[in-house]
Amino acid sequence: MRLATLGPTAGEVVGNPRAYLFRISRNLSIDHARAHAVQSHYIQPGLPAEIAEAKPSAELEVDFKQRIARLEGAIQTLPERQRQVFLLHKYEELSHAEIAERLGISKSMVEKHMMKALAHLRDSLVDLLN
């Protein structure tokens, strides 16, 4: 499929189609092996599909919701700037440099705010970490 998509409209010319085909094949094999390794790490082989897709018990769902509520409460107790930095990094997935630019502070200051926020959250939620 990849080789077939190349052509005059794509603006690409393959000098050695056979070598290119082997390279595609090799890359796809590597991708497949990596995906299999990741999947086998999280799903035990031989388990029926319904076990892997089983819905958690009501107790686990309640526990999870309570933990999320505790985390949200702890985040709300952070000082404003630390909370902003933490949320931008963890929820909006911005880098420290992007956060620094957005908030008009140095990257070093962003790192300090993150360290303090994480320490505060760790201390606030220490009983959930065990």
Give the global pTM: 0.56
CB contact at 8 A, 77 and 124? yes
* CATH architecture for residues 58-125: Orthogonal Bundle (1.10)
The CA-atom distances, in angstroms, between 105 and each of 10, 85, 98 are 44, 11, 10
CB contact at 8 A, 89 and 96? yes
More confident residue, 7 or 36: 36
CB contact at 8 A, 121 and 71? yes
User: 18-30: per-residue pLDDT in tens?
Assistant: 777 777 888 888 8
State the Cα–Cα distance between residues 118 and 75, nearest whole angstrom. 10
Six-digit token string for 52: 């892997």
